[in-house]
């Protein structure tokens, strides 16, 4: 039996109400040279049966006898994948019709890139799109330093060369943040990128936010970010490290007084440290820092008024990262994605 061009892996655990939507979105892709590898991680609600009902013979099911957790489920999928390219889709998300075709074309046109993600739309539990989009950094020069702050790629949008992805299995010591850990390791040996296209619609629900902000997530991020900051020659205090983690998701927090002043100083310190250590592309890090600053200013605006947020953004030297060639290109691409966010891709 010939190997498919793409293996799309869908790990699932108790997502019977929505897994059919995910599988159906793959079955109806414009690129058809693919296999769907569903890893049922010990579900008790008939998730695998729901997936088979939506995809039939297109779905290859691999079952765990019990719930082993997301790193183990992802690794089972990696081991089973037979395609030249491997793509991921979370069980509660849906892929837009040309997602796989666009990514195969991108990786074929950019042989220096090992894995590529993209932008995501948003939908509620019932599949209704919100009209909003998450727009990541795009170039390898910006994405690598972007991982200093948060998961700069949406796992559900990722496609990579199988030979590369199989070199970076997910680690059991990261039952959460397993994607961030893998992206960091992959980016240190490869070039990674994102496309300025909405490839996937993410189904958002309250349980995700609770998990994202859990104590376990923060503890795993402390391990990852302390190591990355150490490569820049920095030895952050526990307080600075916790604030650094908060900065990566500022919109989800009630920020204390003085946080903006700390953040401006901290982002400047990161750029200065990189000038000495030369770990990251300087314009790429400047853009990653400016994007964090932009997010912080927007998160602060409702409390201080939109004018105050814009003033602070424009007056800060950190914002100059948006004015470099790297920054201007990202702004133009982000505006283009935002203008097209409701169109099928």
Q: What is the mean pLDDT of each run of 10 residues along the chain (345 residues)?
A: 92 96 97 97 97 91 97 98 97 97 98 97 88 92 97 95 96 96 97 97 71 82 98 97 94 83 96 98 97 88 59 82 95 92 63
Two tokens, residue 150:
């948060």
Burial of 226 (0-12, 13-18, 19+ CB in 10 A): middle
DSSP 14: S
What gap in Å lies between CA 156 and CA 90, rounded to an integer? 5
Q: Where are the domains of the chain?
A: 6-209, 233-339
Strand partners, 119: 198
- Cα–Cα dist 5/85, whole Å: 6
Residue partners of 174: CB distance under 8 A and separation at least 6? 71, 180, 181, 220
As a whole number of angstroms, the distance between CA 175 and CA 288 comes to 26
Q: Name the DSSP letter for residue 58.
A: G
In DSSP notation, 95-122 reads E-TTHHHHHHHHHHH-TTEEEEEEEEEE
- Give the closest residue to 5 by CA, choosing from 29, 32, 37, 38: 32
Closest CA to 316 of 331, 332, 295: 295
Q: What is the pLDDT of residue 315?
A: 83
Total residues found in the chain within this entry: 345
CA 23/CA 50 separation, integer angstroms: 9
pLDDT at residue 240, rounded to an integer: 97
Q: Which fold has domain 6-209?
A: Spore Coat Polysaccharide Biosynthesis Protein SpsA; Chain A (3.90.550)
CA dist 190 and 170 (Å) reads: 17
Structure tokens at 268: 């400047």
Instruction: Judge contact between 166 and 78, C-beta under 8 A.
Output: yes
| CA–centroid distance for 110 within its chain | 20
């Amino acid at each position: 039996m010939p190997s498919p061009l793409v293996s799309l892996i869908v790990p699932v655990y108790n997502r019977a109400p929505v897994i059919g939507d995910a599988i159906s979105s793959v079955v109806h892709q414009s690129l058809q040279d693919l296999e769907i590898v569903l890893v049922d991680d010990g579900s008790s609600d008939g998730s695998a049966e729901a997936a088979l009902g939506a995809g039939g013979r297109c779905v290859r099911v691999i079952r765990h006898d019990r719930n082993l957790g997301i790193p183990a489920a992802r690794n089972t999928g990696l081991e089973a994948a037979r395609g030249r390219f491997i793509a991921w889709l979370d069980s509660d998300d849906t892929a837009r019709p040309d997602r796989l075709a666009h990514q195969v074309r991108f990786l074929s046109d950019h042989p220096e890139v090992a894995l590529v993600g993209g932008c995501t739309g948003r939908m509620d539990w019932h599949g209704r799109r919100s009209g909003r989009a998450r727009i990541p950094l795009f170039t390898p020069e910006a994405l690598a330093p972007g991982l200093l702050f948060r998961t700069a790629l949406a796992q559900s949008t990722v496609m990579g060369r199988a030979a590369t992805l199989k070199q970076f299995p997910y680690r059991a010591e990261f039952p959460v943040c397993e994607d961030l850990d893998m992206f960091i390791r992959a980016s240190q040996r490869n070039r990674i990128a994102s496309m300025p296209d909405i490839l996937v619609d993410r189904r958002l629900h309250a349980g995700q936010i609770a998990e994202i902000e859990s104590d376990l997530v923060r503890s795993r991020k402390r391990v990852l970010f302390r190591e990355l900051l150490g490569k820049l020659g920095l030895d952050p205090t526990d307080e600075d490290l916790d604030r650094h983690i908060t900065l990566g998701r500022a919109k989800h927090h009630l920020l204390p007084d003085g946080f903006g002043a700390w953040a401006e100083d901290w982002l400047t310190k990161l750029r200065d440290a990189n000038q000495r250590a030369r770990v990251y592309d300087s314009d790429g890090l400047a853009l990653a820092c400016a994007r964090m600053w932009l997010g912080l200013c927007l998160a602060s605006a409702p409390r201080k008024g939109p004018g105050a947020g814009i003033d602070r953004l424009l007056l800060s030297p950190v914002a100059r990262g948006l004015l470099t060639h790297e920054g201007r290109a990202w702004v133009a691409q982000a505006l283009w994605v935002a203008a097209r966010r409701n169109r099928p891709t």
